[in-house]
Structure 1
């Protein structure tokens, strides 16, 4: 896809006054398919929600459209996860809300900070969700984007259980499972931020970055983003999150207060990830062994399921 990336696509956003939205070399790196990362300066975020709305508008065509009633599941303990009647929820991650804003009021060195933190997928460099998906439905691209193929995802939720932040969210009643094993598969599809991979492939900025009126986010080659994060942190005597968490991510935050304080202050729970220190999940011996076993199986499964999805689509189109 990277051959489609154009300088014009990235440069056209400068009309919004966003010269700081991407770093020098971003276009060239994108054209070469190199790893891109984003930097979020949370000291600048005012919590306006423009990024949330832009994400919904840009990605709404990807959202699930479940058919009801849902097939009964076996065993019965398999739970239905249905957000189709709650699509307006925007204070947590859902299959219809891939980005939300956390708020934290923190006292640090005698000063009270009221901070807003845009949260979405961290796009890890060595993502356990991609390494441990038994069906090969989740993958990491060369440009650093981690995304789920909704054509072959069976909703088994392995990606969520191995994600340190529990990012992916499931919607029941959609996906290939209804055609293959409607009572025994994972009962849906997992959804999360895919960093607007289609826009990036066309040389455009992710929607959340493009619309931000405060210039909170910057995208660029990861090495350059890490360097900028350190410069920014030094300028505010601040702190970095995401450089090393889970072995390193392509979403880096810079904050004027320590992230352990933010972690204690933000509301956590289902769909609301924390900001705790996270070890590299893929350094775990059990996960490493599982990844080695799953790699060839997942590749084969992805091919078979992809063929099944294509044939199913042909049948649907013929009806």
Structure 2
């Protein structure tokens, strides 16, 4: 059951109607979630690279894109998103950097914010993907299958934070329609889904020297979030985009943090550097004009069919 649906049912509960402040029962909430405590994070200023960033890069290095030498242009674009020469850039999210640490100053206080996918309860990226290559598993990890991603970047367009990043010259589009659509493959944090499936902790958590990142059963995380609220802490990720499985906790107001982020990039652009707007709505649904327009595009059916065949062949090969 999704968290917001569960909370809607609780809203009519006699327990909550009887009085505010009653303990919430999150026991029916499934999957995993994480807390990122900004009061603990110091940005790993004593290290050359923040430990969550280096851990993520090391763990996912084998999945990083390896583009062809001559990346083809595709109609109607005349430019490509190629980060292959900037693989060591840790100042933003990229196909080679799925976590980065934002640093801003609010009222003379330094605030460090590890940024990555929010792993939404109702992912807009999954809804809009015309090729069905974005999945959400039982642990709440939202993942893009880069092996079959066509790189159309619709997922980034509808993600409130613009999380997924595209690398050109890699992916299945090169075999199907290199000059007509796509343009590469999309990459982002997958919550270390393979480790979670094995009962292990994600790389960013195990390497954090300040214990600022915690993954656990979502029910337990939500109880910790409620405890932080009672302590007067600000929370981010509980309501944004309909709810997520990533919760930020801070003694600094997130509205002020977002103002500082916007000011920091007002002259340089904010691509790959997510905002922290307090009000973030999930603006598409199954009846959305945007979704219908994407899913009924002439090329989509042809490409989706080709991807389905390729997936089937891959699965059959793995089973042999």
> Aligning the two structures, in what range does the TM-score lie when normalised by the shorter sequence?
0.7 to 0.9
Report the CA distance between 1:246 and its aligned residue. Answer: 0.3
User: 1:122, 1:214 → 2: CA distance?
Assistant: 21
Unmatched 5+ stretches in structure 1 = 1-28
Counterpart in 2 of 1:243?
A: 238
User: 1:270, 1:73 → 2: CA distance?
Assistant: 22
Report the CA distance between 1:145 and its aligned residue. Answer: 0.5
Counterpart in 2 of 1:308?
A: 310
- Retained in 2: the 8 A contact 1:124–1:248? yes
User: 1:292, 1:264 → 2: CA distance?
Assistant: 34
- Retained in 2: the 8 A contact 1:173–1:188? yes
Higher relative contact order (CA 8 A, sep 6+): 1
Provide closer, same or farther for how the CA distance between residues 277 and 175 of structure 1 changes in structure 2, counting only shifts above 3 A: same
- Retained in 1: the 8 A contact 2:176–2:303? no
Partner of 1:123, secondary structure, is coil
Report the CA distance between 1:201 and its aligned residue. Answer: 1.3
Provide closer, same or farther for how the CA distance between residues 103 and 246 of structure 1 changes in structure 2, counting only shifts above 3 A: same
Q: How many residues align?
A: 278
How is 1:8-87 mapped onto 2 (pairs within 5 angstroms)? Answer: 34-48=30-44, 49-75=50-76, 77=77, 79-87=79-87
Note the alpha carbon deviations across 1:57-99, whole angstroms, 9 max, x for none. 0000000000110123222x35300000110000100000000
User: 1:130, 1:69 → 2: CA distance?
Assistant: 30
Note the alpha carbon deviations across 1:264-314, whole angstroms, 9 max, x for none. 11244010001002433246686388379959x999976741422565899
2:242 pairs with 1:259: no
- Retained in 2: the 8 A contact 1:151–1:306? no
Unmatched 5+ stretches in structure 2 = 1-26, 45-49
Q: TM-score, normalised by structure 1?
A: 0.79
Report the CA distance between 1:161 and its aligned residue. Answer: 0.2
